[in-house]
Structure 1
């Protein structure tokens, strides 16, 4: 079976077993598809070309080291698997400039550029003689952690995480790609840890301001409160901050994350009771994000000062019909 047979337009290289290695050197001319195996294409270069690429591919990870004279590369991301990927460009020496709505950073000398999942085409302009490592991975590898906004530019040239990641990936590329299944899985776990750490570190500054962080909290409360397993610890992991930082941001606005979630769930439960009286309370509790009917009852009392019986009574029990204009779920701004 040829290696290309493992590729799917929908799932990418997820079916690829183990890992595969590639390397090539280009002197004089640089074909458009010289680096196609890493998903990027050559859009321009200074002659004579002198580029060396070494690459390791797993099912959901790709690590490539590029040593090159000036060249302009494009990551078109026309395929669905590419749109689900994060990419980190770790520059060891040289100068690189980026262009693209979903890419952050402008590292020179030593630094990191980060591309978020998305469909926008990204351009990597290698300005001078450069050595860099490109590290890409599917967003599912770090789930449930997500970075949905382009982070601010962050200087990480002195970050121990950058240094550790670069040295690990560089060493990995220097080894033989021949690895048994167990070793490949162990390497994959290490790559997953580095991927998660890079995303957390690179997006931390974007929500360092408590006001910015609180805006993200409200967004997540509005979109995720009905998830039974979603609480402050899960929210903190998704935002890449500590639980304490999350609570401090909420406290600055006289709120608590737990209360915001509880109030949103209670509002949903109240609305369901009013508009769908045929539902039993166990179903209502699960649809609202509560793990029990008891939790639902306590939340209605603490947030609205009413019991389930009171809510049903306000729905017009005598007529046996819900009100004609039932209340909608309030946004997080009103559930502090």
Structure 2
């Protein structure tokens, strides 16, 4: 028994030295990465979700060493984030995919160690860490999709009002930038007004109206919105009658929305038949139940 104690102490000491060396190596490796520290009101872009959760250094490390491998996924996420209105503090696609990798690795290590200790099996811990460590990455990938879809639906709901207001102001001889500015002032806080504000900022910075509208089109996913913006761009290039063009699209959009509402009401009617029948049967049973019980107790059945 006494001979086993020195061996255990030696093993503990060597394990501590090994852990310290690994931590030192990781710290030295991360310290070699040039990181731009972001701050509110300082130089450079403001902090985003990467800075908020304290992951800027490991994210920059992943980007510095593995960006070519992650480039395709970063481009896909970049497009999703553009369609989603640049959520999470304006994080880019490359930063976001690197953050997913870092969180997955942290989840793998942490959960793998916890499950390994709980189960007493190294293989069980590795498997559990590998499976559960992917949950953060999957979750935040789905969140990006949800942000994109939610913004698309909100823009689709707000666009008819935008189009009607632009048509009215155009009929009153307003210019296109004036019509856009009037909408931004009339509907503050809406998603569509945010996009219009960005378009007006592009124009104010010297971008032509056609180029600003093309940028607006690239940020949209709703088919009806893209169709109208393309028509406006074509009208600006060809010099056609913008008012008549917008009026025709507004009329077509109202008709499509009426058709969509009519189809939805027909589907609702079909879906409500069965619940309505079940409610009627339940009411009949409640009304007739006392009479049925009385007849059964009197020996009629």
Q: How high is the TM-score relative to the length of structure 1?
A: 0.27
Point out the structure with the larger helix share: 2
Q: How high is the TM-score relative to the length of structure 2?
A: 0.29
User: Higher relative CO (CA 8 A, sep ≥ 6), structure 1 or 2?
Assistant: 1
Point out the structure with the larger strand share: 1
